[in-house]
Structure 1
C-alpha cells in the first residue's frame, strides 16, 4: 500500500494505489451481522469447522478440508473459494464495501492488517447462527469464526452513491472483488481530495434537498473558467479543468485537474470564492476570502515569482472575474446548493 504522497510540498493527498483491491462484502444472510461488524471494526465469515490455520495454508489443502468436513454440500467450490478469498486474497489496504440488508446504508472501510483471527469461541457466542429461512437443502455454515480487522471510514446512505456503484451492490456473491473501473466512485466517497493516475480530484459536496437551478451551476462553471485563465498566466501552460457532476439533491461536483501544488492552490481558492491577492515584490500570495488559508493545512508555504507583465494580465482577468461573479452571486450559489468545499484535513482518515 503506497502512503499518502507529497506533491511539490503539499503533504498527505491520498494517491489511489493500483494494487489495492475493492471488495463487496455481505455481512451474513440478510446482512444480519452488519451492525456487529461495523461497531466492532471487523468483518467475518463462518464455516466454523475450518478453525485452524493449517486448514487454510494452501488452496489445495483448504479444498480437501472442505470436501472432508462438509461431504453433504453439493457445491463445495462455493465454500472453499469464499474462505480462500477471505484468508488469502484480501490484503491490508484493500477497501471493503459492506451494504446492509436493503442497501439503504453502505459502510466503506479499509483492512488494516494482514493478520486473521480464527476460532475464538467467545466471539462466536455474541453472534446468532445463520438460519436457512427457506429450508433449502444446503449445509449450515455455522458460526462466524474467521475475522479481519477493518477501519470503517464512511457510513453512507444509498442516496449519496452513484448509480454505477449502486449497480455493483446487486452482485449475488457474498464476497466479490469489484473491477477497477469503480475506483473513482468509491474514492470520492472516501476522500475530498485524491489522485488517480496523475489526475487530481477535488470534490464539492452539494447538500441541498431542494431543486437545483441552472444559474447556481453556471456560477460554479464561471469560476472554473477564470481559474483556468489564472493558472495559464501563472504556469505558462493551458489547464483544462474537467468536471463530473452528480447533483441529484444531494450530490456532488468533482473538479479534475493536473497534479500540481500551484494548480491545486489556485483552484482551491477561486472555486471557494476567493481571489488571488498579489503584491509588486514579484510574489503571489494566496488568500481565501472569509475562510482559512490553504497553508493552514500544508507544511510548506509557496510563493511564485512572476513578471510584471503577468501581474498586469492577472489584474485584468481577476477584475473581469469580480465583475462577472459578484460576491453576492457566489454567496447565493453556496447558500442555494449548501455547497461544502473539499477539505485537506479529511485525508487523515486514509493514513
Structure 2
C-alpha cells in the first residue's frame, strides 16, 4: 500500500491568501470520501450564465440579497420570515392569495437556512442547470460567506447572488449518461435538496470516481460496456480471476478476508468491488498497474468491452455507470 497520508484541499480567498481546509481530497494518491458526507442537489436556475459563473468562480451561491448572511445566522425562521415580507413586499403582487405568498416566503427561508446552516464542509454538490444537459460534481470547501468581488445577477426579484460557498469542482458529465436512480433525482424541482437515497449516492460516487476510498473501504469499478447479452461463462470467468487474485493476496499477506461486490443487472453497467484495501489494491496493482495477463483477463476485457478503473478523474466521461 502507498502512503496513507491525507491530502487536504486548499484554495485562494478573495484577497489571494491560500486557505488550507480540513476537507480531504486524497488518501495517499487515491481519491477519498469519509463516508460521512451529505449529498446535495443544487440548481443554478434558468440562467446558463449562472452555471458557467459557478464553475468559473469555484462556488455555489444563493440570492435574495436583501437578506444578509449575518441575519440568516443570527435569526430564527419566524424572524427571517418577517424581514423577508418587509423587504420583498413587492413580490406579494405575483401571488393571487396571501396563502400563496406566505408559502413562498416559508420555502425561501428554508432554502436560505439550508444553504447557511445545513450544508457542511466536505459535502458533495450535484449542480444542475435547466438550460443545458450537463451536471457538475464537487466538494464543499468553505463555510457560507459574502463576497464583494463576485457579482452574479439572478433576476430582478432575487437580485444578486451574495451568499456563497467555495466548491472544489471535480467533474462535469452529460446528464443523459447517468443511471436511472440519479436521473430520476435530477428531475426534482427544488433549488436545494438533500439526497437521502443510498443508491443515488453510490451512483454519484461511481460517476465521479472509479478507484476511491469511502471510509475504510477501497472501491474499484469496472465498466462493462458491452450492450448485447453477456454470456454466463464469460462473466463467471471474470469473477474467477478476481477471486483467484483475492486468494493469492490472502496467502501472501494473511490480511482480513473482506471483499464485496455490487453490480448493475443491466448491461452496460458497473461491477464495483470494495472492502479490505489491501485486497482491492492488490487486484488493482496486478491487473491495472502491472498489466499482468491473469488467466483469460485480456480476452475477457475485449469480449465484455470492459473499461478499467483508474486513479484519475476523466472530466466529461462517465466513470462507472455506462
TM-score by length of 1: 0.67
Matched residue SS, 2:116 = helix
* Pick aligned residue for 2:298 from 331, 335, 339: 331
- 1:105-125 deviations in whole A, cap 9, x for unaligned? 2210112222523466x723x
Which one of the candidate residues 102, 107, 127 is aligned to 1:74?
102
Q: Structure 1 residues 175 and 201 mapped into 2: Cα distance closer, same or farther (>3 Å)? A: same
**Aligned residues of 1:108 and 1:154 also touching (Cα < 8 A):** yes
| In structure 2, C-alpha distance between the alignment counterparts of 1:65 and 1:178, rounded to whole Å | 30
Where 1:33 maps in the other structure, the secondary structure is helix
Q: In the alignment, what sits opposite 1:317? A: none
Equivalent position of 1:289 in the other structure: 292
Distance 2:192 2:234 in 1: 42
User: Matches of 1:5 and 1:53 in 2, distance apart?
Assistant: 31
Residue deviations 1:136-191 (CA, integer Å, cap 9, x gap): xxxx3233333322221111223442322222222231101112624322222222
1:92 aligns with 2:121: yes
Q: Note the C-alpha offset of 1:79.
A: 1.4
* Alpha-carbon displacement from aligned partner over 1:52-95 (angstroms, at most 9, x marks no partner): 44332324253442132123343211111111212232233221
What runs of 5+ residues in structure 1 fail to find an aligned partner?
A: 131-139, 275-286, 291-321
Contact 2:134 2:173 in 1 (8 A): yes
- TM-superposed deviation, 1:254: 1.0
| Alpha-carbon distance in structure 2 between the residues aligned to 1:219 and 1:49 | 63
Structure 2 equivalent of residue 213 of structure 1: 230
Equivalent-residue separation in structure 2 for 1:116 and 1:238 (angstroms): 45
Shift of 1:25: 0.3
In structure 1, the residue matched to 2:138 is 109
What runs of 5+ residues in structure 2 fail to find an aligned partner?
Answer: 1-21, 93-100, 315-322
Query: Does the 8 Å CA contact 1:160/1:250 hold for their aligned counterparts?
Result: no
Q: What's 1:45 paired with?
A: 62
Structure 1 residue aligned with 2:260? 242
Greater Cα radius of gyration, structure 1 or 2: 1
- DSSP 3-state at the match of 1:28: coil
Aligned 8 A contact 2:274 2:280 in 1: no
Q: Hey, what does 1:123 align to over in structure 2?
A: 151
Cα distance in 2, alignment partners of residues 216 and 105 from structure 1: 35
Match of 1:231 among 232, 240, 249: 249
1:242–1:257 contact (8 Å) kept in structure 2: yes
Partner of residue 149, structure 1: 166
- Cα 1:271–1:247 shift into 2, 3 Å: farther
Q: CA RMSD in A?
A: 3.3
**How many residue pairs are counted as aligned between the two chains?**
278
**Structure 1 residue 104: deviation in Å?**
3.4
